[in-house]
């Protein structure tokens, strides 16, 4: 089935901060089998991702989602929503003017509500990377009966102090730079990769045309690319959402909240992740073990840091094959 952007409106939505939206239109795509004909997998996108997870040329996770692949489009219905205000629908009216109205929990509530509106009562799995993984954690608490499997890749149920610090610097760049999205993206790439990854990729080579090191031209290119496809309001929104990840906020301690999750929990860390550091995942796994909660922690070995979840398709397929 060919995928195309679809729309669903949710009315009278009150955010966690108490702001009422008379109507919120969220966009989404469906890949693989038609709804209600096969097990459903929900994919939650990362910070600068979108609902196009599996199209042949542009799908950002097509390395694991396609015909005969790990998440087999011949076997599953794959649903992917766009975070409200991420701009992928190219509708200026859907941009969020006050990004601090929303939290990741609101996004999780919107996604879960839309699925229930579609008549989807059960997911085989909800899977997300980075910010998308955090939203998946939130969904597993808000809708405990919805998913059989919660899969969080290079992610966490909370924004650590390290994440909060990073996002604050990002926000300052977005508020104060003359080229906010461009410059914020350049800075972010330093956290998504590693020194070893840069050495392997560039090894101090020079871009002869520009007369600058290749690593500099690469960073400038990433800044330019995101500046061209991402609205400033959108980038402020998703960066802010990352800072709001916290399934225990106003709910109690992690030991009190985690037992509400009925899904089997699988965490995939990356040994070189300098952003969502694997030590946090291992700490979570230890607490889940103490509570007797069904969970698994597995690790990707990669030189590429946080972006390893987009690079190491082979390892990810091996680590998750028992679920799919």
| 284 in the same domain as 230 | no
Phi, psi of 100 (to 5 degrees): -80, 0
10: domain CATH number is 3.40.50.1820
Residue 253 to residue 251: CA distance in whole angstroms? 7
For the cut 80, the answer to whether the pLDDT of residue 188 exceeds it is yes
Tell me the whole-structure pTM to 2 decimals.
0.97
Helix (H, G, I), strand (E, B) or coil at 296: strand
Count of CB atoms situated within 10 Å of the CB of 131: 27
Q: Which residues contact 33 (CB under 8 A, 6 or more apart)?
A: 1, 73, 74, 75, 76, 77
Give pLDDT tens digits for 211-235: 999 999 999 999 999 999 999 999 9
**In the chain, how many H helices and how many E strands?**
11, 12
Give pLDDT tens digits for 46-74: 999 999 999 999 999 999 999 999 999 99
| 151 in the same domain as 211 | no
| 297 in the same domain as 212 | no
Short-list 118, 117, 121, 137, CA closest to 129:
137
| 142 in the same domain as 70 | yes
Phi, psi of 185 (to 5 degrees): -65, -40
Q: Quick one: pLDDT at residue 266?
A: 98
206: domain CATH number is 1.10.1740.110
The whole domain housing 186 covers 162-240
Residue 88 to residue 50: CA distance in whole angstroms? 7
| 258 in the same domain as 149 | yes
Tally the domains of the chain: 2
Residue 158 to residue 114: CA distance in whole angstroms? 24
| 280 in the same domain as 235 | no
User: Is the Cβ–Cβ distance between 266 and 234 less than 8 Å?
Assistant: no
For the chain, the C-alpha Rg in angstroms (whole number) is 19
| 108 in the same domain as 146 | yes
């Amino acid at each position: 089935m060919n995928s195309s952007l679809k729309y669903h409106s949710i009315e009278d939505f009150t955010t966690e901060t108490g702001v009422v939206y008379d109507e919120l239109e969220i966009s989404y795509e469906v890949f693989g089998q038609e709804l209600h004909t096969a097990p459903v997998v929900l994919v939650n996108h990362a910070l600068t991702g979108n609902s196009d997870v599996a199209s042949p040329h542009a799908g950002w996770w097509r390395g694991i989602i396609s015909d005969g692949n790990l998440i087999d489009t011949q076997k599953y219905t794959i649903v992917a929503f766009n975070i409200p205000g991420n701009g992928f629908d190219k509708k200026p009216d859907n941009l969020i003017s006050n990004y601090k109205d929303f939290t990741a929990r609101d996004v999780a509530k919107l996604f879960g509500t839309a699925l229930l509106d579609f008549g989807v009562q059960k997911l085989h799995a909800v899977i997300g990377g980075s910010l998308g993984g955090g939203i998946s954690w939130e969904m597993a608490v808000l809708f405990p009966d919805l998913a059989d499997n919660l899969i969080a890749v290079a992610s966490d149920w909370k924004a650590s102090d390290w994440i909060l610090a990073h996002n604050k610097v990002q926000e300052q760049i977005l508020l104060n730079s003359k080229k906010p999205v461009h410059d914020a993206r350049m800075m972010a790439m330093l956290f998504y990769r590693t020194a070893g990854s840069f050495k392997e990729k560039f090894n101090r080579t020079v871009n002869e045309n520009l007369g600058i090191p290749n690593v500099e031209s690469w960073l400038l290119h990433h800044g330019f690319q995101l500046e061209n496809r991402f609205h400033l309001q959108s980038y402020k929104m998703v960066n802010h959402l990352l800072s709001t990840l916290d399934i225990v906020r106003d709910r109690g301690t992690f030991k009190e909240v985690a037992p509400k999750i009925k899904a089997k929990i699988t965490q995939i860390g990356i040994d070189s992740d300098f952003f969502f550091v694997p030590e946090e995942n291992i700490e979570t796994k230890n607490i889940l073990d103490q509570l007797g909660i069904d969970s698994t922690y597995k690790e990707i070995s990669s030189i590429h840091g946080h972006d390893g979840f987009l690079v190491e398709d082979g390892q990810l397929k091996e680590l998750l094959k028992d679920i799919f």
